[in-house]
Copies of this chain bind each other. A is one copy, B any other.
Amino acid sequence: MPDSDTALTIGQVAERTGLSVHTLRFYEREGILTHPVRRDGGGRRLYTEHDVDWLTVCVILRASGMPLPAIRRYTELVTAGAGNEAERLTLMRQHRERVTNQIAQLTRSLDLINYKVGVYEDILGA
């Protein structure tokens, strides 16, 4: 059972999060990690399970269209610790609205797409 002491290489984290090693380094530069990554003697990154959990959250936020600056801001708030929950809530609510709007828009688009699929199926089925 992996506990929070487990040290993971960047390659292992890439595999677990689905991000490339390039993207992991890029996210770090962009301030998308709650604390600087530990390094081994040779300067190599050592990630924890905690980092993987955080990155997994970030992956989900990205996948739902949250821009990197917003994720960075959220990261900053989490890093700063308790006391800023109001802003975190605002951020999440804003994002929730974007996402629900996006789902609504996609669902509407689906009507047209289904209609077109139906038209072509009819033509080909006749």
State how many angstroms separate the Cβ of A94 from the closest Cβ of chain B.
10
Q: B120 near A63 (CB under 8 angstroms)?
A: no
* A contact residues, range: 20 to 34
What are the residues of chain B within 8 A of A109 when measuring CB–CB? 60-61, 63-64, 99
A110 and B100 contact, Cβ closer than 8 Å, known pairs A85-B123, A124-B85: yes
B117 touches A85 (CB 8 A): no
Number of copies: 2
Interface pair A64/B99, CB less than 8 Å apart: no
Given A109-B60, A110-B64; A117-B96 close (CB under 8 Å):
yes
Bound-complex Cα distance A93 to B116 (A):
9
Say yes or no: B106 contacts A93, CB within 8 Å.
Answer: no
A25: min CB distance to chain B, Å = 24
Contact partners of A107 in chain B: CB under 8 A: 103
A64-B120 contact, Cβ under 8 Å, with A96-B114, A99-B113: no
Given the interface pairs A103-B107, A106-B102, A106-B106, the reply to whether A89 lies near B64 with Cβ below 8 Å is no
Chain A residues with CB under 8 Å of chain B are 57, 60-61, 63-64, 85-86, 88-89, 92-93, 95-96, 99-100, 102-103, 105-110, 112-114, 116-117, 120-121, 123-124
